[in-house]
Structure 1
Amino acid sequence: MPGPVNLARAAAVDGWLSRLGRRLWAPRCLVCAEPAPGRLDLCAHCEAALPWMPPACLSCAMPLPLSLSPPLPPPPFVGAATAAIGRDTATAIAAVAAPTEGARTEAACTTHGDKAARPPAYPFSRLCSACQHDPPPLAEAHAAFLYGFPLDRLLPRLKFHRDLAAGRLLAQSMAVAFAQRSRPDALVPIPLHRQRLRERGYNQALELARPLGRMLGIPVRGDLLRRRRATAAQSRLDAGARAANLHDAFEVPGTRPVPAHVILVDDVMTTGATLYAAADALLDAGADRVDAWVCARAP
């Protein structure tokens, strides 16, 4: 049975040192450098522009046609709850209502390749047409945002320039977006191959998973999944090549026991090939259920 959000751990993320720092040094918006009077390090304009995720396919997180016009209002995190995040992250998280499910219709999305199809976890009315016909290995996939302004500024800075301030802001947003979701046994960040890790010096998925785990009181298992071989950059490949590029790219090292329910954490979901390959490896190693939480979903 899923447990409640660990409010004590969530509150500790924004402790007295963080509050003192904001009083001594007036914060600036991480996107446009204008004053950021709230607790999210965004000015009012950039905060209002956050593209919160509308209703989407529960299996691949692709927005459904019904949700594209008009967009849903942002969650209570925006506005009054934004100020609460700085004083008490737990208060803002606890205030978030359960995500609106609404009516579900069909939409096209990328399939996960030729792996043996697993039965969908939900009625077909809550899945897009592609996931109805070819269910991916993920039981659920959720994104906090659609990929657009200002995510297209913040995520590249985290991914390629180690902007940990941007990572903290994005992790806070993910915590609010996912606080009412099913509680896993562990968060598993998508790993980089050791060669890519040496070049970059850090793993952006791990930099999102660590604060997210602290806020929600979920263990982070960065040791559970390994990228067994170097692969070409996914951004340079089309959808079909992406799936082939990641075939058997992940493994669970040794004989480590795999928790029954794990959630993969990554920055952006595009075709889903990376997440599906990682989910297959965890399921093959004994996981009963694998979900995905990502910061943004590329349309």
Structure 2
Amino acid sequence: MPLPPLHRAFALLHAALLSWRCMLCGAPGVDGMDLCAPCAKELPRNGPCCARCALPLPIAAAMCGQCLRREPPWDGAWAPFRYGWPLDRLETRFKFGDDLAAGRTLAALWREEPAPVELPALLVPVPLHRARLRQRGYNQALELARPLAAMLGIPLGQDVLVRTRDTSAQTELDRTARRRNVRGAFAVRENAVLPDHIALFDDVMTTGATMAECARLLKRAGVQRVDAWALARAPMH
């Protein structure tokens, strides 16, 4: 897939000033990215996976056992990668290490993956609380969503949802605690224009608690279909 004009221009400028270097091993980068071909090949693609929640599965199946027992509040999912080595290293550097170059590489990798056939009318990144946003300086979900939305020609609804409560980090909690942690932590912004089909957007989906809370809000606000999009889906442990 050809690079978007802005990314292509950046790639040419970067190449003229400094050679691309793999962020994982230091070897020369390829395809206008700070990633070499062998490391890019090691990135864990998410297949086969559950069509409903994108949970990695050992064999192809329409739905995982968890979704068969209790369907999630969203209608479909897209997570092209599995959360594991070496993608998790890039994600950690981007999310917690102020490494925007790692985010740019992750966004470029996502753009190369085949998109769902039925695209949403609006892409809505999961918001950060204003306190967390001040601390980090950027919303990692929004930064990943911008280039993908531009490539797919989908409007970006970055102000549709607001995080009303600063929650504890989900990484430290189990499944039940994650659901409790995000309950009532989001709201649909007043006067937000909501189309019938929206895709929620986040960097990593682990148990799906955050996506579920946001999807329920959007459904209650009148959205007919909500999809869950994430760069990577964590395996079940």
Which TM-score band applies after superposition, normalised by the shorter structure? over 0.9
Unaligned 5+ segments in structure 1 are 67-102, 105-125
Can you list the C-alpha shifts for 1:138-158, whole angstroms capped at 9, x where unaligned?
101121111112111100111
Contact 1:13/1:214, CA 8 A, preserved across alignment:
no
Matched, 1:38 2:37: no
Contact 2:20/2:33, CA 8 A, preserved across alignment:
no
CA–CA separation in structure 1 for the residues paired with 2:56 and 2:216: 23
2:211 pairs with 240, 262, 275, which one?
275
Partner of 1:212: 148
Partner of 1:157: 93
Structure 2: which amino acid aligns with 1:29? C
CA–CA separation in structure 2 for the residues paired with 1:176 and 1:37: 14
Contact 2:11/2:32, CA 8 A, preserved across alignment:
no
Identity %: 49
Contact 2:121/2:155, CA 8 A, preserved across alignment:
yes
Partner of 2:12: 19
Contact 2:126/2:200, CA 8 A, preserved across alignment:
yes
Using the TM superposition, give the Cα deviation of residue 159 of structure 1 relative to its aligned residue in structure 2, in angstroms.
Answer: 0.6
1:179 pairs with 115, 118, 125, which one?
115
Using the TM superposition, give the Cα deviation of residue 34 of structure 1 relative to its aligned residue in structure 2, in angstroms.
Answer: 1.7
Task: Classify the secondary structure of the residue corresponding to 1:13.
Answer: helix
Matched, 1:127 2:63: yes
1:102-113 pair list within 5 angstroms: 103-104=60-61
Structure 1: which amino acid aligns with 2:136? R
CA–CA separation in structure 2 for the residues paired with 1:60 and 1:180: 14
Can you list the C-alpha shifts for 1:24-73, whole angstroms capped at 9, x where unaligned?
3111001122211433321122112111111211111112221xxxxxxx
Larger gyration radius, structure 1 or structure 2: 1
Contact 2:194/2:223, CA 8 A, preserved across alignment:
yes
Contact 2:122/2:199, CA 8 A, preserved across alignment:
yes
Tell me how many residue pairs correspond in the alignment.
235
Unaligned 5+ segments in structure 2 are none
Partner of 2:225: 289
Runs of 4+ residues over 3 Å off in structure 1: none
1:225-244 pair list within 5 angstroms: 225-244=161-180
Structure 1: which amino acid aligns with 2:172? R
Task: Classify the secondary structure of the residue corresponding to 1:131.
Answer: helix
Partner of 1:114: none
Using the TM superposition, give the Cα deviation of residue 20 of structure 1 relative to its aligned residue in structure 2, in angstroms.
Answer: 3.3
Matched, 1:61 2:54: yes
Using the TM superposition, give the Cα deviation of residue 252 of structure 1 relative to its aligned residue in structure 2, in angstroms.
Answer: 0.5
TM-score (norm 2): 0.93
CA–CA separation in structure 2 for the residues paired with 1:179 and 1:13: 20
1:169 pairs with 82, 95, 105, which one?
105
Task: Classify the secondary structure of the residue corresponding to 1:149.
Answer: coil
Structure 1: which amino acid aligns with 2:40? E
Task: Classify the secondary structure of the residue corresponding to 2:25.
Answer: coil
Using the TM superposition, give the Cα deviation of residue 178 of structure 1 relative to its aligned residue in structure 2, in angstroms.
Answer: 4.2
TM-score (norm 1): 0.74
Tell me: CA distance 1:240–1:19, structure 2 relative to 1, closer, same or farther (3 Å): same
CA–CA separation in structure 2 for the residues paired with 1:270 and 1:259: 27
CA–CA separation in structure 2 for the residues paired with 1:43 and 1:17: 18
